[in-house]
Amino acid sequence: MAKKSKEKSNKKAVVDNAKEGSYSAKDIYVLEGLEPVRKRPGMYIGSTGPAGLHHLVWEVVDNSIDEAMAGHAKNIGISLLPQNRVMVIDDGRGIPVEIHKQTKRSALETVMTTLHAGAKFGGESYKVSGGLHGVGVSVVNALSIWMKAEVCREGKLYAQEYQRGKPKHAVKKVDTCEGTGTAVTFEPDSEIFKEIVFDWEEILSHLRQQAYLTPGVKISIFDKRTSITPKTEKGKTAHEFPAQSHAFYFDGGIVSYVKFLNEGETPKHDHIFYARKEADISDKKKILVEVALQYTDDITPKELSFANNIFTPEGGMHLTGFRTALTRSLNTYAKKNEYFRKDDETLTGDDVREGLTAVISVKLPEPQFEGQTKAKLGTPDARTAVEWVVGETLDEFLEKNPDDAKQIIAKALLAQQARKAAKAAKDTILRKGAMEGLMLPGKLADCQSKNPAESELFLVEGDSAGGSAKSARDRRNQAILPLRGKILNVEKSRLDKMLASKEIRALVIALGAALGNDYDESRLRYHRVVIMTDADVDGSHIRTLLLTLFYRYFPKLIDAGYLYIAEPPLYRIQKGKNVRYAFSDAEKEKIIAELQKEKIEKAAKETKVAKGAAKVSPPEGGETLTDGEEEAVGEESESGEKIKGITIQRYKGLGEMNPGQLWETTMDPARRVMRQVAVKDATEADKIFDILMGDEVLPRKKFIQTHAKAVKNLDI
């Protein structure tokens, strides 16, 4: 009996477990319409941060660019409007509005509200298109709290509005119009995007790029956000956007783009190589290849690749085909004209790419991108097409322009010599350094932890600040490397000369991951590398030199999010025993106002009216005031200033802080402020580093003159 009862109990337990872990048809959830986009926005736009926010703009603009590439649009306008709205308008054919046979709805509504719906999957409407998956504008619609589409066709203006991807009404005729075109206005959803601020400079840079890639098309940008902006408590605008507009129009295409990229550089040869050819892949499939290149006296390459006007920052098959053809053609020419001293001597890919500025653009039907954000082209035919076109046309260019060819080969041979010298330097320095378990730099005060994920390396300016930082740090996971003086400007130096610098050599060995092409993240000893310099001109210069070093030789460290800039406070503000720190002039004024308000409120409570002079008792630590007197402040440094009862000290250097203050303000993870270094626009970053740290003085002078008025608290 007991046995039967036990069996019954076990059977019941099995049934209960089945209920808890059930998996049947009812457990399968089907997300309809645009629900998948709102559920997993990162799958479609990469992220819900600033990059994803701007990706919405690119998706809508891509549709207008597609019309331009198909030869139907000559003007594209982008307007940043109040209420975080963006409008993109073109004079293309206009999205069709008639009823779609399959969906039984207007074609406009189908395109705007359905994933994988568009004219880019077949037919002859778009032989070449940047939109691959057909999800672009519908994704923007799904992630917008409001959107409006307006279409002008056959003299009639049609419109439809949407809310979070769902139509508010049917497509309807609202007016008459002239010409043809489409206007899409959208407002990103604050439920999806935590901060909605469109970056004018980023939009400008992207659209400039598109204008170069679409010669003969005018792209205009307008910033109209100033009329309505959110108000703060004090009546000031939360974001101030100056009224501005810009227009791009380039007949020269990617040749003009190469000239733009090389502004401030010294070209090694006069003629810019340019090729434009169609490669037949099959009877029905052709790929248009456009390539422009020029060498400069720089030592870093700039290669920008595009597929159907979509920037592919991670390259892909078209870039691989270009590099293969370039290396082969230059080696063939060098051997044929006896530039090599030895028969088995060759130029490597790195040799022929030093100082190269190249733009590679392919236009092809049905491109295969890796990921919805289209960062890398995966179409194998693109490699074959680019390799064939570049190989054939570059061989011809070198033969027809022997002077240019001589300069190009000389540049590559010089790079070859530097590569061999750099290899010897790396073998000598790096393999005998910390990466082989030998001695770390003597000046490095290492941390106790051997776990890179929790370890931090502070790069500190000077021995004085270094000593203070060593005393202030948490020895368990914070390491200190003092750097004496200004390190070598690596923008102007090759690798072998760079590694001859004691300061840079110590830094490379301390990091433990090698550099450049040999960089190995698995050997990196710290996952937080913090640049900590003084808040003066010299400190800014040293910080820029270090940023140049990391950008040129440790780009993967930056991409991984391991590089930071410490933000020491600019001011120490004391009233009695109350000490506060300010990181900007605005914060200083705010703190002073708060302290003065506190003083007035406290004084009002403690004031005793007498027939004689009124007396006020200040907070503890101060002196009693008599009417007409100014409160005396304590000891004051050169950088201090007096404001009744408040001592303000302006920090010019980390060395002015004692270890306790340095820990409290700059190194304590619970209270410190640090900026993470990220590369938002690699092309623009490269250009800025060339201007600030390159050999050419004129671009740097122009930059200083342009931005001089924006400089505050300049120490001279």
CA angle centred on 617, ends 611 and 618, rounded to 5°: 145
Which residues have a Cβ under 8 Å from the Cβ of 140 and sit 6 or more positions away? 56, 59, 60, 147, 184, 186
| Six-digit token string for 528 | 């937080």
The pLDDT assigned to 428 comes to 64
The CATH classification number of 254-428 equals 3.30.230.10
Give me the torsion for CA of 463, 465, 467, 473, rounded to 10°. Answer: -140
Give me the mean pLDDT over the 640-654 stretch: 73
Which DSSP string corresponds to 614-654? -EE--STTS--EETT--PPP----TTEEEETTEEEEE---G
C-alpha dihedral sign at 44, 50, 53, 54: negative
Side-chain half-sphere exposure of 147, counting CA atoms within 13 A: 28
Per-residue tokens: 536: 């003066």
Residues acting as catalytic residues: 461, 534, 536, 538
**pLDDT of 12 higher than 50:** no
Output the CA angle 220-222-228, nearest 5 degrees.
165
Percent of the chain with pLDDT over 90: 47
| Residue-wise pLDDT tens digits, 35-90 | 888 888 888 888 899 989 999 999 999 999 989 988 899 999 999 999 999 999 99
Rounded CA-CA distance 362/278 in Å is 9
Backbone φ, ψ for residue 419 (5° rounding): -65, -45
Provide the β-strand partners of residue 410.
none
Q: What is the per-residue pLDDT for 207?
A: 95
User: Measured between alpha carbons, how far is 481 from 471 in angstroms, rounded to an integer?
Assistant: 13
Give the pairing of strands 571-575 and 578-582.
antiparallel
Q: Are strands 640-643 and 646-650 parallel, antiparallel or unpaired?
A: antiparallel
Average pLDDT over the chain, rounded to an integer: 82
162-207 pLDDT, tens digit per residue, is: 999 999 999 999 999 999 999 999 999 999 999 999 999 999 999 9
How large a percentage of the chain has pLDDT more than 70? 79
528-532 and 302-307: which strand pairing? unpaired
Q: How many CB atoms lie within 10 A of CB 489?
A: 17
User: Which two tokens mark 424?
Assistant: 């010897």
- Which tokens go with 693? 């740290």
Beta partners for residue 456, in sequence order: 478, 528
Q: Are 112 and 158 in contact (CB under 8 A)?
A: no
Q: Which residues contact 23 (CB under 8 A, 6 or more apart)?
A: none
User: Which CATH architecture best describes the domain 36-248?
Assistant: 2-Layer Sandwich (3.30)
3-class state of residue 17 by DSSP? helix
DSSP label of 441? P
What confidence tier does 599 reach under pLDDT thresholds 50, 70, 90? confident
State the Cα–Cα distance between residues 538 and 188, nearest whole angstrom: 42
Q: Which CATH architecture has domain 430-568?
A: 3-Layer(aba) Sandwich (3.40)
pLDDT at residue 435 is higher than 70: no
Average of pLDDT values for 305-311? Answer: 91
Give residue 495's pLDDT band: very low, low, confident or very high (50, 70, 90): confident
What pLDDT does residue 636 have?
41
Interval 287-303: pLDDT, tens: 999 999 999 988 889 99
Residue 605 is predicted with a pLDDT of 75
Residues paired with 649 in a beta bridge: 572, 640
What 8-state DSSP symbol labels residue 667? I
CA 343 to chain centre: 45
Average the pLDDT over 487-512 and give the result.
85
Distances (CA, A) of 277 to 161, 384, 390: 43, 13, 9
What is the C-alpha to C-alpha distance for residues 498 and 491, in angstroms, rounded to an integer?
Answer: 10
- Give the per-residue pLDDT at 43: 84
Alpha-carbon torsion, ordered 433, 435, 436, 442, to 10 deg? 40
> In the structure encoding, which two tokens stand for residue 498, read together?
């760079």
Record the tokens describing residue 417, joined without a space. Answer: 């010599």
167 forms bridges with which residues in the sheet? Answer: 162
Counted residue by residue, the chain has a size of 716
The predicted pLDDT at position 643 comes to 64
Residue 682 has pLDDT above 60, yes or no: yes
- Structural tokens at position 442: 């003597």
Strand order from edge to edge, sheet including 563-566: 478-483, 456-461, 528-532, 563-566, 674-676
Beta strands in 243-317 (DSSP E): 244-248, 273-280, 286-295, 302-307, 310-311
pLDDT of residue 323: 97
Tell me the C-alpha distance between 564 and 531, whole Å: 6
Where along the chain do its domains lie? 36-248, 254-428, 430-568, 571-650, 683-708
Assign 393 a pLDDT band (cuts: 50, 70, 90): very high
Q: Which of 330-344, 423-437, 495-509, 701-715 has the weakest average pLDDT? A: 423-437
Q: pTM for the complete prediction?
A: 0.69
At residue 130, the 3 state secondary structure works out as coil
Q: How far apart are CA 247 and CA 218, in angstroms?
A: 7
Q: Of 174, 158, 173, which is closest to residue 94 (Cα–Cα)?
A: 158
489: helix, strand or coil: coil
What angle is formed at CA 417 by the lines to CA 413 and CA 419, rounded to 5 degrees?
110
Q: What is the pLDDT of residues 603-638, one digit of tens each?
A: 777 665 444 444 444 444 433 333 333 333 333 434
Mean pLDDT of 236-257: 80
Rounded CA-CA distance 450/476 in Å is: 9
Which stretch of 116-120, 127-131, 339-343, 426-430 has the lowest confidence by average pLDDT?
127-131
pLDDT digits over 265-276, tens only?
889 999 999 999
The tens digit of pLDDT for each residue in 206-245 reads 999 999 999 999 999 999 987 444 444 444 344 566 778 9
Residues with Cβ within 8 Å of 513's Cβ and at least 6 positions away in sequence, in order, are 435, 519, 520, 521, 522, 523, 524, 525, 554, 557
Give pLDDT tens digits for 105-119: 899 998 899 886 655
Cβ neighbors of 55 (< 8 A, separation 6 or more) are 45, 46, 373
Q: Across-strand partners of 711?
A: none
Structure tokens at 682: 């690699």
284 vs 386 pLDDT, higher one: 386
